[in-house]
């Protein structure tokens, strides 16, 4: 028997927090509403793309799809370039103030998109929308992480990210309805300008939500993780994020997913309206049906993925990775079928594919929260944002538009569909590393080289899985596996 005392870990100094902190649920509700508005702002552009093309390009312009796709690229490039700076800032300043700043910027820029008199002006306004979202994106999920304990984080993060399918769907339906609404014509607005009001009307709710953010108190970083965050990470500590296998494989998988799904989502209403249905059905009907499918299947899948990941934490090793991978592998097959099944039956196959493709939203973002120490978490999210968009959906809408100009949209979608399969395989690989990386994230970065620090942090977990280790760090027979 080894009677040597366990090496002390600073992670043990922070008392265990097993329940959400006071004010956690009101903050969560506000952040969910903000995220909804965020994705409505982002995707109402997709709903009005046919009108944007008519407003800025001649009908015989051979590169109209490529140029229109570059509006998504403009947004994503600005988003990914500025996200690392705002992520670094979010680890140092009041995050609620940063969130309010981001909402204000993207709301004003969205309204500016409606005012654009030339394509290059709209291109610039979409860049500004990206800058606003870059200020908000890395900060918001870390606020949630500092209000809810690890054992419940997957479900809570899933509720936050359910705004992606719901907000996206509302964006499609709202933009399509406004662009075709006769009500605006009754108020004297020319039919050719109705699409601009899809942007104008997003300004008031955005400014209101920005003001409400100033009413909320800043939570202490790391207080529910037993992970003291007063430590100031060094540059070497930040580099260690990319050396964390779970973080790296998760980010690579999210990049492949973003490349395919992000590009397809941008063009799908136009693809169905112009190419599959040959404009025999009105655009507002297409965006409405597509929006209903996304909101129902996306909402159910996002919540189910997060809850299933939490449920399987003590039963399946790397559960968050596993449920994400299975969803993508099934989604790959269903997406291919969507391209060849005739309408209206294709709507049903599309619904099944979207359900599978959204199943990873909660689990993958929970992984980001769990494998990065609280003192670097905003930077971890910002770095993830930069990578997944720089190598993912920053250019895939333009690539799809370019291939469609050369051939057709079905060929373009087939070109990017292989990335769905790749993401599933990368997440299966990540499952074997998640348990260890989650334990390591409880130890402050400057203490990880101390002997036994990781073993000590493991025994301070939230109680959902007790990882007992002996003096050389081996799990004992009584331990349970978790993710």
SS3 187: coil
**How high is the pLDDT of residue 148?**
86
Query: pLDDT tens across 9-57, in order?
Result: 444 444 445 677 788 899 999 999 999 999 998 888 888 888 888 888 8
Q: What is the CA radius of gyration of the chain?
A: 23
Query: Is residue 96 a contact partner of residue 28, using CB atoms and an 8 Å limit?
Result: no
Q: CA 9, 10, 14, 18 torsion: positive or negative? A: negative
Which of 183-187, 307-311, 406-410, 444-448 has the weakest average pLDDT?
A: 444-448
SS3 291: helix
**How high is the pLDDT of residue 367?**
93
**Which alpha helices (DSSP H) does 258-376 contain, by range?**
263-270, 283-311, 319-338, 345-357, 361-370
Which pLDDT band, with edges at 50, 70 and 90, does 479 fall under? Answer: very low
Which of 85-89, 155-159, 260-264, 331-335 has the weakest average pLDDT?
A: 155-159
Query: pLDDT tens across 294-311, in order?
Result: 889 988 998 899 889 888
**How high is the pLDDT of residue 192?**
84
Kindly tell me if the per-residue pLDDT of 121 is higher than 90: yes
**Token reading at 431:** 């499952």
Asked, as a colleague might, if the bond just before 159 is cis with ω within 30 of 0, I would say no
Query: pLDDT tens across 233-290, in order?
Result: 677 777 788 889 999 999 999 999 999 988 888 888 889 988 898 878 888 888 889 8
**How high is the pLDDT of residue 427?**
97
Which of 249-263, 338-352, 380-394, 455-469 has the weakest average pLDDT?
A: 455-469
Cα distances (Å, whole numbers) of residue 177 to 1, 200, 255, 272, 295: 73, 14, 32, 16, 16
Query: Terminal CA-to-CA distance of the chain, rounded, Å?
Result: 30
For residues 320 and 434, what is the distance between their CA atoms, to the nearest angstrom?
A: 9
Kindly tell me if the per-residue pLDDT of 225 is higher than 70: no
**How high is the pLDDT of residue 462?**
42
Q: Which residues contact 256 (CB under 8 A, 6 or more apart)?
A: 392, 419, 420, 422, 423, 426
Query: Is residue 396 a contact partner of residue 301, using CB atoms and an 8 Å limit?
Result: no
Domains of the chain: 24-59+67-446 (1.20.1250.20)
Among 384, 381, 392, which Cα is nearest to 73's?
A: 392
Query: pTM of the prediction?
Result: 0.71
Query: pLDDT tens across 440-449, in order?
Result: 887 766 555 5
Overall average pLDDT of the 403-423 stretch: 91
Query: pLDDT tens across 57-115, in order?
Result: 888 777 888 888 888 889 988 988 898 899 889 888 899 999 999 999 999 999 999 99
**How high is the pLDDT of residue 295?**
86
Kindly tell me if the per-residue pLDDT of 196 is higher than 80: yes
Task: Please give the share of the chain, as a percent, with pLDDT higher than 90.
Answer: 37
**How high is the pLDDT of residue 457?**
47
**How high is the pLDDT of residue 8?**
44
For residues 338 and 334, what is the distance between their CA atoms, to the nearest angstrom?
A: 6
For residues 95 and 93, what is the distance between their CA atoms, to the nearest angstrom?
A: 6
**How high is the pLDDT of residue 2?**
42
For residues 476 and 401, what is the distance between their CA atoms, to the nearest angstrom?
A: 55
Mean pLDDT of the chain, nearest integer: 83
Kindly tell me if the per-residue pLDDT of 292 is higher than 50: yes
Kindly tell me if the per-residue pLDDT of 403 is higher than 80: yes
Task: Please give the share of the chain, as a percent, with pLDDT higher than 70.
Answer: 86
How many CA atoms does the CB half-sphere of 109 hold within 13 Å? 26
**How high is the pLDDT of residue 18?**
62
**How high is the pLDDT of residue 340?**
93
SS3 content of the chain, % helix, strand, coil (to 5): 70, 0, 30
Overall average pLDDT of the 384-398 stretch: 86
**How high is the pLDDT of residue 287?**
83
Kindly tell me if the per-residue pLDDT of 461 is higher than 50: no
SS3 475: strand
Q: What is the DSSP string of 20-80?
A: PPTTHHHHHHHHHHHHHHHHHHHHHHHHTHHHHHHHHS-TT-TTHHHHHHHHHHHHHHHHH
**How high is the pLDDT of residue 107?**
95
Residue 233 DSSP one-character state: -
For residues 197 and 201, what is the distance between their CA atoms, to the nearest angstrom?
A: 6
**How high is the pLDDT of residue 475?**
41
Q: What is the DSSP string of 408-434?
A: -HHHHHHHHHHHHHHHHHHHHHHTTTH
**How high is the pLDDT of residue 66?**
84
Give the containing element (helix H, strand E) for 386.
helix 377-388
């Amino acid at each position: 028997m080894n009677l040597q005392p366990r090496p002390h870990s600073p992670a043990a100094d922070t008392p265990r927090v097993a329940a959400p902190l006071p004010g956690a649920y009101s903050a969560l509700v506000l952040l969910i509403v903000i995220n909804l508005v965020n994705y409505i702002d982002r995707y109402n552009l997709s709903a009005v793309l046919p009108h944007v093309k008519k407003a800025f390009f001649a009908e015989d312009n051979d590169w109209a799809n490529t140029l229109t796709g570059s509006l998504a690229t403009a947004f994503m490039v600005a988003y990914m370039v500025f996200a690392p700076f705002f992520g670094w800032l979010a680890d140092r300043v009041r995050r609620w103030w940063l969130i309010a700043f981001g909402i204000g910027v993207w709301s004003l820029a969205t309204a500016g998109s409606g005012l654009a008199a030339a394509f290059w002006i709209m291109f610039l306004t979409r860049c500004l929308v990206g800058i606003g979202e870059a200020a908000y994106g890395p900060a918001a999920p870390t606020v949630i992480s500092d209000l809810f304990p690890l054992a419940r984080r997957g479900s809570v993060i899933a509720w936050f990210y359910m705004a992606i399918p719901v907000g996206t769907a509302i964006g499609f339906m709202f933009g399509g309805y406004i662009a075709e609404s006769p009500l605006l014509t009754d108020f004297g607005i020319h039919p050719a300008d109705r699409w601009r009001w899809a942007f104008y009307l997003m300004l008031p709710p955005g400014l209101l939500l920005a003001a409400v953010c100033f009413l909320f108190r800043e939570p202490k970083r790391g207080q529910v993780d037993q992970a003291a965050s007063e430590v100031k990470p060094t540059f070497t500590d930040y580099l260690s994020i990319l050396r964390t296998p779970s973080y790296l494989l998760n980010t690579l998988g999210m990049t492949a997913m973003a490349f395919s799904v992000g590009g397809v989502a941008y063009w799908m209403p136009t693809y169905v309206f112009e190419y599959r249905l040959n404009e025999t059905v009105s655009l507002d009907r297409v965006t409405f049906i597509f929006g209903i499918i996304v909101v129902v299947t996306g909402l159910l899948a996002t919540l189910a993925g997060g809850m299933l990941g939490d449920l399987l934490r003590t039963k399946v090793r790397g559960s968050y990775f596993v449920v994400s991978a299975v969803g993508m592998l099934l989604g790959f097959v269903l997406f291919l079928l969507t391209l060849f099944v005739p309408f209206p039956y294709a709507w049903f196959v599309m619904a099944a594919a979207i359900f599978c493709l959204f199943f990873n939203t909660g689990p993958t973002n929970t992984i980001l929260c769990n494998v990065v120490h609280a003192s670097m978490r905003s930077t971890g999210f910002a770095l993830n944002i930069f990578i997944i968009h720089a190598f993912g959906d920053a250019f895939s809408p333009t690539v799809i538009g370019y291939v469609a100009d050369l051939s057709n949209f079905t060929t373009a979608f087939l070109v990017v569909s292989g990335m769905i399969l790749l993401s599933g395989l990368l997440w299966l690989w990540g499952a074997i590393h998640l348990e260890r990386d989650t334990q390591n994230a409880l130890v402050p970065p400057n203490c990880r080289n101390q002997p036994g620090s990781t073993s000590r942090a493991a025994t301070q977990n939230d109680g959902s899985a007790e990882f007992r280790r002996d003096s050389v760090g081996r799990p004992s027979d009584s331990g349970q596996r978790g993710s």
